[in-house]
């Protein structure tokens, strides 16, 4: 699995909210007896978090996050962010389980021609063998083959990745009530790189009860998988593969926020995204099975379209009751891969004495599969143009249950801890399953626990 490197968006703290913790620092120079600006109003906020992510006996990740926001002057805000993501653990590759043992082979290393090689064991219990070199080649490839026992998922056991991401943003209030914002972000892991630039503008109307905002985002990615980029829908093999692959994406968002009443805030936004380039996961495979027995005959590298257009509508509502706050968010999403989804989030912030709080959270998510999603392909049938067995693109629904505890420390400072449980539920026994596949669970269960520690300090 790749925690696909979507660089975290720059911490877009509303300038208004930061002004609530800002000092001017500028004294009226003409009046010698002018009183100094109170120094207790903070201009800098440090937002930090530590995420611990644990998937049912599989992927584990630790991610510290740092964000610094600095009120540069009355009208300008600077934000800087940094995050490191350490991900380890195996992830399903997309092959179906079988009543027989299965192997996964991947290119492991390139060595000069003629280097003596003895069969060894690489990381994760793989067997290293030499791939016969092509005529005229000056190098040859070592491939690693990993065999799993019967009735287990083929997992990429050697998966280990370190990702880091940085971002910087600027927010400027102009005359006539416009606020401009812009930012850059960069994210890198051992086989992927993403660069983003974003620009946005917002304006208030109706005595600050209505805010309209618009933003655009451009992202350019480079994929350089270990072993090279495979030719889609070719049989899995240990040979060194193709060159780096690119993709780019343009996103636009239009949002409207309205303070409806003294207690109720609502925000509606529409986003559009247009991506093209390399959209495949270079490590994922799809099994071709025997039409009678359902046994996998071969594994093919997946293929997705080289374009993706997405749209979503997002509605956020916050209601302040006499002490507590309720939040209800809804999102509808569709894209031209055929995926449609709805998301509903509910949070209830229950205030405790001393301004501490307990916040239970529930999230419901339901998605319909991409057009080209298949559990497996059947031998003898014509090969489709696009095919992927990545469960991320399948039919499923997911539930999240969480509880957060937070406590303010000082003005603008807070410490918090949030524990969440995520459960993804798909159909592991489709009615059309053939042969041995009928007794297999074709949707690998996914449950995860996350713990997020938060600490923000204003000074």
Partner 1 sequence: MNMRRMFEHCSPNRRTEFLKVALLSVVLASLGGCASLGPKPWQHDLMAQPAMSVNSDPLQSAVDDHIYFSKEGSSGGRSYAGGGCGCN
Partner 2 sequence: MQKMLRGVLGVAIALIACGAVQAEGLDLNTYRGKVVYLDFWASWCTPCRRSFPWLDDLVRQFSNRDLVVIGVNVDQSHELAQKFLSDTPAAFSIVYDPQGAIATAFKIVGMPSAVLIDRTGQVRFQHVGFSDSKKDEYEAHVRALLAESSH
Give contact residues for partner 2 (rule: CB under 8 A): 19-24, 26, 28, 30-31, 33-38, 40-41, 74, 207-208
Residue 14 beta carbon to partner 2: minimum distance, rounded to whole angstroms = 13
Q: How many CA atoms lie within 13 A of 343 on its CB side?
A: 13
User: Could you tell me what percentage of the chain is helix, strand and coil, using 3-state DSSP and rounding each to the nearest 5?
Assistant: 5, 55, 40
By beta-carbon proximity to partner 2, the closer residue of 33 and 354 is 33
E strands present in 245-324: 245-259, 264-277, 285-289, 296-301, 307-320
By beta-carbon proximity to partner 1, the closer residue of 313 and 409 is 313
What single-letter DSSP state applies at residue 411?
T
By beta-carbon proximity to partner 1, the closer residue of 13 and 102 is 13
Residue 389 beta carbon to partner 2: minimum distance, rounded to whole angstroms = 54
By beta-carbon proximity to partner 2, the closer residue of 42 and 232 is 42
Pairing of strands 178-189, 414-426: unpaired
Q: Which does 213 bind (CB under 5 to 8 A by kind): partner 2, partner 1, none?
A: partner 1
CA distance 349 to 83: 27
Taking alpha carbons only, the member of 170, 167, 126, 120 closest to residue 145 is: 126
Give residue for tokens 């655009």: 216
Q: Which does 182 bind (CB under 5 to 8 A by kind): partner 1, partner 2, none?
A: none
Residue 80 beta carbon to partner 2: minimum distance, rounded to whole angstroms = 23
By beta-carbon proximity to partner 2, the closer residue of 137 and 411 is 411
Q: Which does 370 bind (CB under 5 to 8 A by kind): partner 2, partner 1, none?
A: partner 1
Q: Which does 77 bind (CB under 5 to 8 A by kind): partner 2, partner 1, none?
A: none
By beta-carbon proximity to partner 2, the closer residue of 322 and 381 is 322
What single-letter DSSP state applies at residue 303?
B
Residue 389 beta carbon to partner 1: minimum distance, rounded to whole angstroms = 13
CA distance 373 to 393: 6
By beta-carbon proximity to partner 2, the closer residue of 29 and 382 is 29
CA distance 100 to 206: 68
By beta-carbon proximity to partner 2, the closer residue of 33 and 382 is 33
Residue 109 beta carbon to partner 1: minimum distance, rounded to whole angstroms = 28
Distances (CA, A) of 326 to 47, 316, 323, 436: 23, 11, 10, 49
A 10 A CB-CB count for 183 gives 22
Q: Which does 31 bind (CB under 5 to 8 A by kind): partner 1, partner 2, none?
A: partner 2
Residue 53 beta carbon to partner 1: minimum distance, rounded to whole angstroms = 7
Q: Which does 334 bind (CB under 5 to 8 A by kind): partner 1, partner 2, none?
A: partner 1
Residue 112 beta carbon to partner 1: minimum distance, rounded to whole angstroms = 37
Tokens read off for 355? 């301004």
Q: Which does 14 bind (CB under 5 to 8 A by kind): partner 2, partner 1, none?
A: partner 1
Q: Which does 259 bind (CB under 5 to 8 A by kind): partner 2, partner 1, none?
A: partner 1
Residue 27 beta carbon to partner 2: minimum distance, rounded to whole angstroms = 9
By beta-carbon proximity to partner 2, the closer residue of 19 and 449 is 19
Question: Would you say how long the chain is, in residues?
Answer: 459
- Give the 3-state secondary structure of residue 312: strand
Q: Which does 95 bind (CB under 5 to 8 A by kind): partner 1, partner 2, none?
A: none
A 10 A CB-CB count for 317 gives 15
Residue 31 beta carbon to partner 2: minimum distance, rounded to whole angstroms = 7
Q: Do the Cβ atoms of 7 and 163 come closer than 8 Å?
A: no
Dihedrals phi, psi of 137, to nearest 5 degrees: -75, 150
CA distance 91 to 1: 5
Longest CA–CA span in the chain (Å) reads: 93
């Amino acid at each position: 699995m790749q925690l696909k490197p979507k660089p975290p968006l720059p911490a877009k703290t509303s300038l208004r909210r930061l002004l609530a913790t800002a000092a001017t620092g500028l004294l009226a120079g003409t009046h010698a007896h002018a009183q100094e600006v109170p120094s207790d109003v903070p201009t800098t906020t440090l937002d930090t978090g530590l995420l611990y992510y644990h998937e049912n006996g599989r992927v584990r990740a630790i991610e510290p996050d740092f964000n610094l926001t600095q009120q540069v002057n009355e009208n300008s805000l600077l934000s800087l962010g940094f995050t490191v993501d350490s991900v380890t653990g195996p992830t399903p590759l997309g092959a179906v389980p079988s009543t027989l043992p299965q192997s996964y082979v991947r290119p492991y290393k390139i060595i000069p021609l003629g280097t003596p090689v003895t069969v060894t064991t690489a990381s994760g219990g793989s067997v290293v063998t030499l791939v016969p070199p092509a005529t005229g080649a000056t190098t040859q490839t070592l491939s690693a083959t990993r065999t799993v026992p019967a009735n287990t998922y083929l997992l990429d056991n050697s998966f280990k990745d370190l990702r880091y991401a940085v971002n910087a943003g600027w927010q400027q209030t102009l005359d006539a009530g416009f606020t401009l914002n812009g930012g850059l972000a960069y994210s890198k892991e051992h086989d992927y790189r993403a660069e983003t630039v974003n620009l946005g503008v917002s304006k208030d109307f109706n005595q600050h009860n209505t805010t309209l905002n618009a933003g655009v985002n451009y992202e350019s990615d480079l994929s350089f998988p270990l072993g090279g980029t495979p030719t889609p829908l070719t049989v899995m093999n240990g040979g060194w593969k193709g060159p780096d692959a690119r993709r780019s994406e343009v996103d636009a968002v239009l949002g409207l926020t309205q303070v409806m009443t003294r207690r109720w805030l609502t925000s509606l936004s529409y986003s559009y995204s247009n991506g093209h380039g390399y959209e495949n996961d270079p490590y994922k495979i799809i099994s071709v099975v025997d039409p009678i027995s359902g046994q996998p005959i071969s594994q093919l590298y997946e293929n997705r379209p080289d374009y993706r257009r997405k749209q979503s509508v997002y509605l956020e509502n916050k209601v302040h009751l006499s002490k507590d706050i309720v939040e209800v968010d809804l999102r509808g999403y569709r894209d031209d891969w055929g995926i449609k989804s709805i998301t509903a989030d509910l949070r209830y912030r229950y205030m405790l004495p001393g301004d501490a709080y307990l916040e239970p959270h529930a999230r419901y998510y339901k998605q319909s599969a991409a057009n080209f999603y298949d559990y497996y392909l059947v031998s003898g049938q014509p090969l489709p143009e696009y095919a992927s067995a990545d469960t991320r693109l399948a039919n499923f629904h997911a539930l999240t249950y969480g509880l957060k505890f937070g406590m303010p420390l000082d003005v603008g400072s807070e410490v918090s801890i949030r524990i969440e449980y995520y459960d993804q539920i798909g159909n592991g026994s489709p009615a059309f399953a053939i042969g041995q596949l009928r007794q297999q669970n074709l949707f690998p269960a996914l449950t995860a626990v996350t713990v997020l520690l938060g600490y923000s300090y204003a000074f």
